[in-house]
Amino acid sequence: MSRLPLSIVILTKNEEERIAECIESVLGWADEIIVVDDESNDRTREIAADLGAKVLVKKMEIEGRHRNWAYSEARNGWVLSLDADERVTEELKKEIEAVLAKQPLFSAFTIPRRNYIGDYWLRWGGLYPSAQLKLFRKDKFSWEEVEVHPRAFLKGECGHLKKDILHYTYRNWEDYLRKLNKQTTLEAIKWHKLSLLNPRKARYKMNLLHALWRSGDRFIRSFVAKRGYRDGFRGFMVSCLSSLYQLLSYAKYRELKRDEKYKHIRGPASL
């Protein structure tokens, strides 16, 4: 059986515990699997290479730019972008095969994702179907080159697949908090850079009142409007931590602005 002329591109960073299952979910199905590793210090690259993936090493500095570079390395016109915590189901494979066999008019497709914390599928609070643009023609698609939450730029129309990707988003609450900490740091850096280019917009978007409003709005939308309460205590915690995102980003942004303001009067750092 011939393999599908499709490039799988997987971004990794210290994913030795999860990379094998990700690769195995597409092994023998797509004719190219590329792992772009962000200078892991565990066995991620070794495991990927042993499974037959093409392994490239590149430090991630700006997410959007990193992803665009990774996709440019694919030899096929169609790319399926995965993270190490995602798995492609057999049902999704069949759907993609059928779509690509018809030479689709669409330039890209979104795919619904089942988001998990541990082994629990978060069905509510806006976390399902949570479709993301994952399958695309590489000459028609790119990401905005910013640190976090880049925008998608697409030439052409976007279609929508129906079968799911399994997304083992968070191992546990500790993992959730670790990712929240990292994402809010990147969000603060993005807004700090904007404040240097467009101070007026930054002042409008990144202030305490706006942060408080966004925090409350996120909780209400997640827990009430999108029925996060149906996931019980887990839904409550996800809604709370989602609402905290904006406040944490704002607090870190204030620190960056403070450091910028006073750096010219600081003496040399103590050794």
pLDDT tens for the 271 residues of the chain, in order: 579 999 999 999 999 999 999 999 999 999 999 999 999 999 999 999 999 999 999 999 888 999 999 999 999 999 999 999 999 999 999 999 999 999 899 999 999 999 999 999 999 999 999 999 999 999 999 999 877 778 999 999 999 999 999 999 999 999 999 999 999 999 999 899 989 989 888 888 889 999 999 999 999 999 999 999 999 999 999 999 999 999 999 999 999 998 877 665 544 443 3
Domain ranges of the chain: 4-170, 173-264
The pLDDT score that the predictor gives to residue 264 is: 53
Alpha-carbon span 144 to 148, nearest angstrom:
10
The pLDDT score that the predictor gives to residue 203 is: 85
Alpha-carbon span 231 to 244, nearest angstrom:
19
Fold classification of 4-170 (topology level):
Spore Coat Polysaccharide Biosynthesis Protein SpsA; Chain A (3.90.550)
Beta strands in the chain (DSSP E): 4-12, 30-37, 54-57, 78-83, 86-88, 108-111, 113-117, 120-121, 132-137, 141-143, 152-154, 158-160, 165-170
